[in-house]
């Protein structure tokens, strides 16, 4: 967890929910949209976050560019994208080019 600069308590017996919780904690501290880029299997239930680290296996070639650099490259004048966890789920605003 120190690798991602997050602090979260260990909850024994949590199972697969632990990885989802880790991603949620990363979302609170980092502005990195590569968190949402992972390999979705055909039988995966709906959800924004990956169920395990295995889902990121073939996503190693991605890089995150600074938003200011993105805005210059694509002449984007929209406000900086944001995402937040709410009691209804995840609210996200992302530019798509």
Q: Are 95 and 76 contacting, i.e. CB atoms less than 8 angstroms apart?
A: yes
Instruction: Compute the mean pLDDT over every residue in the chain, rounded to the nearest whole number.
Output: 77
Structure token pair of residue 14 = 């949590």
> Is the model's pLDDT at 1 over the cut of 60?
no
> Taking the domains of the chain in order of start, what are their residue ranges?
2-93
Of the chain, the percentage scoring pLDDT greater than 90 comes to 0
> Is the model's pLDDT at 3 over the cut of 70?
yes
Cα 92 to chain centroid, rounded: 10
Q: How far apart are CA 45 and CA 51, in angstroms?
A: 10
Task: Tell me the DSSP string of 22-86.
Answer: HHHHHHHH---GGGG--PPPTTPPS-SS-SSGGGGTT-TT--PPPHHHHHHHTT--SPPPEEEEE
């Amino acid at each position: 967890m120190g690798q991602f600069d997050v602090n979260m308590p260990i909850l024994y017996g949590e199972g697969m929910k632990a990885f989802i919780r880790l991603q949620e904690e990363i979302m609170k501290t980092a502005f990195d949209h590569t968190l949402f880029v992972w390999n979705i299997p055909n039988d995966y239930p709906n959800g924004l976050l990956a169920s395990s680290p295995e889902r990121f296996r073939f996503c190693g070639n991605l890089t995150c560019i600074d938003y200011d650099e993105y805005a210059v490259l694509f002449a984007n004048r929209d406000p900086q994208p944001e995402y937040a966890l709410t009691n209804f789920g995840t609210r996200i605003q992302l530019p798509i080019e």
